[in-house]
Amino acid sequence: MLPDRKVALKNYRELKLRKKAFIYSLLIPGLGQFLTGRRITGIAFLTFFLFPFYYLYLIGFSLNYGTISLLLSQSILYFLQAWDALKSAKRETSPCEDFCPAKVNIPAFMGKCEEGDVEGAWGIFSIYSPFPFTLGEICHAPCEEKCGILPERPLKIREVHRELGKTFNQEIEVKNRTPFFPLTNKKVAVIGGGIAGITAAYYLASTGIQVDLFEKEKELGGTLNFIPEFKLDKKLFKKEIALATSFNCIRIFTEKEVKSIPKTYDAVIIAVGSQKEKQLKIPTHGTPNIIYPLSFLKNPPHPLTSKKIVIIGAGDTAFDVARLAVRSGAEAIVFYRSDESSMKAQKKEISAAIKEGVKIYTDCQPERIENNTIFFSCGKVTFDYLVPAIGFEKDEKLIKKLQSSHPNAVLAGDAENGMSNAALASYSGKLAAYKVLKMLNLHSRAWFTVDVKGRKPARAQGKNVFLVSESSLCQHCGEKVRS
């Protein structure tokens, strides 16, 4: 049994307990909190609810504005305590997880890593995303910027879950498996096989829903397939995809572009991404060699040796192109219209590109192109190939058409948020899956909505020295629990 199944069944029992606590709290205020082990909270609710009625009994009941106000306030308290019993205790979150795009409970999986429990750590991570390795490779890690445990550097959170995902995936064999819960008669279509679509399909299929996953390209993975091999280990990336889609209630249709959705589906998740490359809109004369970034990354011109590649833009994609070019023997020059501080690429990507020989010019606005010469506000340069990596945008017409073709359509990933990042796309896919479960009245199976309460182990142990030692530095800032 894989650890995500164990976590799912445990969390399902927690959801059932909360539902039971909700019913009990409707019978006697505070009883639901008692059932879930929150005795002080339960006593407080019962006391605050009953005392005003005892006070009315002492002074004598009479119908007036004061009595009506008191009854109304007690009614509000009655429903609030029932809602509290259903939602259970709230945990104080740590700064790192507050800024995590995927909302991962970082202290919880770090605690398992410190214990040397790789399977347990992966199981906890699966509550938030099925891609610990992939996100560890490419996430821009805002969590680390908020970690203040060490004076000289942040904890290497991203590298920890990267190593966790790598270790786990290298040790397991992906096999076809059954969902965590009995199959339902519900059927959902997921349009788009990127991170958001795969994440949504994973969570939906795990609950027993029949999922059809459609992807217009030859393989799943979306725009991450275009990331160079030196930046993302494609073998392990594909293995994470295979594991996430290993449920026997998922059917995968590649090279299948969906333009309308049959009503035979109970719901649909639209996760088509932002794959429309923004076009360079400046005066152009002649026939310059312009190649847009996805085409360049997918099929680089050959040979590139001694060629001059000019890249416009300063996002991660621009530097992927630049680094791939210099590694292929070309000269790569990046031009950016603003200053260095507003570059969207990760700092580590910019530093790596500079070390590899990429030249960067800032405050250079493109003005016009004449044959294979481009003129900027800062000067001109002749190129062999020009790559405008100026961003991506949603295909609004396609999204609206898909939305209008089905009454129960939910957006996910870049189709909802515009061009973002893999971690946010995964979180969006998870939220979309939950929306569909609520829509189909199956939210009681939403095991991935139950947060876990991590703890710092008594002692560090385990075979993987890096996982254990780095995780042991985590002080579990969000360990306390509020009632």
pLDDT tens-digit readout, 357-369: 999 999 999 999 9
Q: Give yes or no for residue 60 having a pLDDT over 80.
A: no
Average pLDDT estimate for 221-230: 93
Q: Which of 22-36, 63-77, 101-115, 134-148 has the lowest mean pLDDT?
A: 63-77
Between these two residues, 335 and 57, which has the higher pLDDT value?
A: 335
Q: Which of 61-70, 269-278, 312-321, 400-409 has the lowest mean pLDDT?
A: 61-70
* 389's tokens: 């990596």
**Is the separation of the CB atoms in 222 and 273 below 8 Å?**
yes
Residue 385 has φ and ψ, to the nearest 5°, of -140, 140
What pLDDT sits at residue 196?
96
* Closest to 85 measured CA to CA, from 14, 11, 30: 30
In eight-state DSSP terms, residue 440 is T
Percent of the chain with pLDDT over 90: 76
The mean pLDDT value of the chain amounts to 92
Q: Give yes or no for residue 469 having a pLDDT over 50.
A: yes
Buried b (16+ CB within 10 A) or exposed e, 174-205: beebebbbeebebbbbbbbbbbbbbbbbbbbb
Average pLDDT estimate for 338-347: 89
Average pLDDT estimate for 368-376: 96
Q: pTM for this one?
A: 0.92
Place of tokens 């059809």: 212
What pLDDT sits at residue 483?
42
Average pLDDT estimate for 199-222: 96
Rounded-to-integer distance, Cα 96 and Cα 145, Å:
8
Q: Give yes or no for residue 393 having a pLDDT over 80.
A: yes
Per-residue confidence band for 478, with pLDDT thresholds at 50, 70 and 90: low
Average pLDDT estimate for 23-47: 93
pLDDT tens digits, 164-179:
999 999 989 999 999 9
Percent of the chain with pLDDT over 70: 99
Dihedral sign of CA atoms 232, 233, 237, 238 in order: positive
Place of tokens 């725009």: 223
* 3's tokens: 């650890």
Q: Give yes or no for residue 481 having a pLDDT over 60.
A: no
Paired sense of beta strands 409-411 and 267-270, if any: parallel
Per-residue confidence band for 122, with pLDDT thresholds at 50, 70 and 90: very high
Rounded-to-integer distance, Cα 78 and Cα 84, Å:
10
Environment class of 110 (CB within 10 Å of its CB; exposed 0-12, middle 13-18, buried 19+): buried
Place of tokens 């788009």: 192
The dihedral region occupied by 251, where left means phi > 0, alpha psi between -120 and 50, and beta the remainder, is beta
Ordered by where they begin, the domains of the chain are 3-88 (no CATH), 95-172+450-482 (1.10.1060.10), 187-276+393-448 (3.50.50.60), 284-390 (3.50.50.60)
Best-predicted range by mean pLDDT among 41-50, 325-334, 343-352?
Answer: 325-334
Rounded-to-integer distance, Cα 215 and Cα 222, Å:
8
Q: Give yes or no for residue 153 having a pLDDT over 70.
A: yes
Name the amino acid, one letter, at 29: P
